[in-house]
Amino acid sequence: MNPNMKAIIFDVYGTLFDVYSITSKCEELYPGNGEKMSTLWRKKQLEYAFLCQLMDKYRSFLSITRSSLKYALNELQLLYNEESEKILLEAYKQLSPFPEVESVLQQLQNKKKLVVFSNGSHDMLEPLVKTSTLSPYIDDIISIDDVKQYKPTPASYLHALRTLGYEKEEILFVSSNGWDIIGATNFGFKTAWVNRKNLPLDELDTLPHFMFRDLSGMLK
Amino acid sequence: MNPNMKAIIFDVYGTLFDVYSITSKCEELYPGNGEKMSTLWRKKQLEYAFLCQLMDKYRSFLSITRSSLKYALNELQLLYNEESEKILLEAYKQLSPFPEVESVLQQLQNKKKLVVFSNGSHDMLEPLVKTSTLSPYIDDIISIDDVKQYKPTPASYLHALRTLGYEKEEILFVSSNGWDIIGATNFGFKTAWVNRKNLPLDELDTLPHFMFRDLSGMLK
């Protein structure tokens, strides 16, 4: 990695933590529906965040995560009550990190400043990060909730840049979400796409500077 | 329908015309892949339109439709060249109307002003609408391309309102796309959701005023 890089910004959901690790909790509550449910929940969560941003009607990611959960349960015609909703939302604060993440962060620590930056609101991010094994390696938790502008808007990335206090060219932006990488590259960050699903590059003339299959590619 | 309603705005893709009618052309070129391909193409087309809007980097819907087609072919690992790309993009200008649409428009004609309003650019919309059987019933074709603000932004719906020249309460907004209905309702239009897939209502506290299974519900 370029020695001029002083800080690394990591996206959270899908990049450090596996949003589909919630599948087992979904399966436990709704046997036979875990996978369909977690997939639809995530799909709607992203759609709702984008829609709220496009309509200029901000709602926190926690509120959006709750709404998209309800929608997913309705579409799959699964019954729920306050209790099951609470269990699932709590589980979203205990997602599992991807297997290689802790070791990679450990090796980068003390060499670079390591921060996370997410569409998640602090009431979701803090419990998730602080109770995880990754906590000792994370120097700061930055949320778009402070400016109420969702990624991939330029305003959201500007918030991360300002909070960090480094120059743009001193920062590497890391995400596994294609739309996040497009947004961050468009903003002017140096970007690394963690292409966990081995997908083709997007066709919006906004290419990431680096591409890895998982985070361990960053160490090479 | 409320007799004070003077005009009806119809969304185009998915509402009057079936975007999945392109499946047969996809299947012809890529046997065994038609359905997967048309589904992924549409999914990426919407994602790219939203991303460009969120990044404030406008690209026309024709350009986005081309990019999303390329992406879909890449993800499905299907080979293409300029010729096959051209055939598929041309086919997007010849989508089929849903079966009930012509008869419904015929019955509404002369009672209300009937216009279409779409994220599509004029170079896609004009050939589609004007060569279709619906053409005699459509009084105007309005595109967000004139203001370069995609639905569901408030600015896009404002453009339709201004172009029509009626009062908001004199207009009924009709779409089968949930995100479009949310956006139009949020803007302040009276809305009718054509819920062709029998999906549950979205959970964003923005409910349509009417809901029909197909357009013929409007005649009751």
Distance (Å, rounded) from C-alpha A190 to C-alpha A36?
35
Residue B1 lies in a domain: no
Query: Cα–Cα distance between B82 and B87 in angstroms, integer?
Result: 9
Quickly list DSSP for A44-105: HHHHHHHHHHHTT----HHHHHHHHHHHHHHHTT----HHHHHHHHHHTTSPEEPTTHHHHH
Statement to judge: residues B108 and B133 lie in one domain = yes
Q: Is residue B58 part of a domain?
A: yes
Chain B interface, best mutation among A42, A54, A60, by max B CB count within 10 A? A54
Q: Quick one: A110 and A202 in the same domain?
A: yes
Catalytic residue numbers of B read: 11
- Over residues B137-154, the pLDDT tens digits come to 999 999 999 999 999 999
CB atoms B51 and A182 under 8 Å:
yes
Is B86 in the same domain as B112?
no
Q: Say yes or no: A172 and A63 in one domain.
A: no
Structural domain includes residue B198: yes
Task: State the CATH number of the domain containing residue A194.
Answer: 3.40.50.1000
Whole-number pLDDT of residue A9: 98
For the cut 80, the answer to whether the pLDDT of residue B175 exceeds it is yes
Confidence of residue B4 (pLDDT cuts 50, 70, 90): confident
- Beta pairing partners, B115: B9, B140
What does the pLDDT profile of chain A (220 residues) look like in tens digits? 677 899 999 999 999 999 999 999 999 999 999 999 999 999 999 999 999 999 999 999 999 999 999 999 999 999 999 999 999 999 999 999 999 999 999 999 999 999 999 999 999 999 999 999 999 999 999 999 999 999 999 999 999 999 999 999 999 999 999 999 999 999 999 999 999 999 999 999 999 999 999 999 999 8
Which two structure tokens, joined as six digits, stand for B33? 């892949």
Is the domain of A110 the same as that of A195? Answer: yes
Q: Which residues pair with B114 in a beta bridge?
A: B8
| Same domain? A69 vs A159 | no
pLDDT of residue B3: 73
Q: Considering only CB atoms, which chain B residues are within 8 Å of A183? A: 51, 54-55
CA dist., res. B202 & res. A43, Å (int): 13
Residue B220 has pLDDT above 90, yes or no: no
Q: Residue A61 region, left (φ>0) first, then alpha (ψ -120 to 50), else beta?
A: alpha
Please tell me whether residues A81 and A108 are part of one structural domain: no
Q: What is the mean pLDDT of chain B?
A: 96
**Which amino acid, residue A7?**
A
Q: Are A23 and A187 in contact (CB under 8 A)?
A: no
Which of A54, A74, A200 shows the shortest C-beta gap to B50?
A54
The last residue of a domain, from among B91, B125, B143 = B91
Q: Are residues A166 and A84 in the same domain?
A: no
> Using CA atoms, how far apart are residues A98 and A109, in angstroms rounded to an integer?
18
State the pLDDT at residue A3. 73
pLDDT mean over B31-50: 97
Q: Check if A140 is active-site.
A: no
Residue ending a domain, among B32, B63, B91, is B91
pLDDT at A173: 98
Instruction: State the pLDDT confidence band at B14, using cuts at 50, 70 and 90.
Output: very high
In a domain, A134, yes or no: yes
Q: Are residues A110 and A215 in the same domain?
A: yes
Which residue among A47, A59, A199 sits closest to B75, beta carbon to beta carbon? A199
Nearest CB to A71: which of B51, B54, B202? B202
B21 — pLDDT class (breaks 50, 70, 90): very high
Q: What whole-number distance in Å separates Cα of residue B6 and Cα of residue B30?
A: 45
Domains contained in chain A, number: 2
B65: nearest CA in chain A? A203
Structure tokens, A115? 């921060």
Query: What percentage of chain B exceeds 90 in pLDDT?
Result: 98
Task: Decide if B2 is inside a domain.
Answer: no
Domain containing residue A59: CATH number: 1.10.150.240
Q: What is the average per-residue pLDDT within B8-13?
A: 98
The continuous run of DSSP H or E covering B163 comes out as helix B154-164
Same domain, A59 and A116: no
What distance in Å separates the CA atoms of residue B67 and residue B41, rounded to the nearest whole number?
9
Chain B CB contacts of A54 below 8 Å:
50, 53-54, 150, 152-153, 183
**If you write DSSP's letter for every residue of B114-129 in order, what string do you get?**
EEEEESS-HHHHHHHH
Per-residue confidence band for B2, with pLDDT thresholds at 50, 70 and 90: confident
Q: Domain range spanning residue B77? A: 19-91
What torsion do the CA atoms of A65, A70, A75, A81 make, to the nearest 10 degrees?
Answer: 150
CA–CA distance, B204 with A48 (Å, rounded to integer): 8
Under 8 Å CB pairs connecting chains A and B tally to 78
Residue B141 CA to residue B99 CA, distance in Å, equals 21
Considering only alpha carbons, which residue of chain A is nearest residue B72? A200
CB A37 within 8 A of CB A148: no
Does residue A74 form part of some domain? yes
- Based on the fold, state whether residues B11 and B29 are members of the same structural domain: no
pLDDT digits (tens, 9 = 90+) for B114-139: 999 999 999 999 999 999 999 999 99
Residue B173 has pLDDT above 90, yes or no: yes
Contact B208, B190 (CB under 8 A): no
Which residues in A lie closer than 8 A to residue B179 (C-beta atoms)?
47, 51
Please tell me the distance from the alpha carbon of residue A7 to that of residue A108, in angstroms, as a whole number.
10
* Residue B171 β-bridge partners: B7
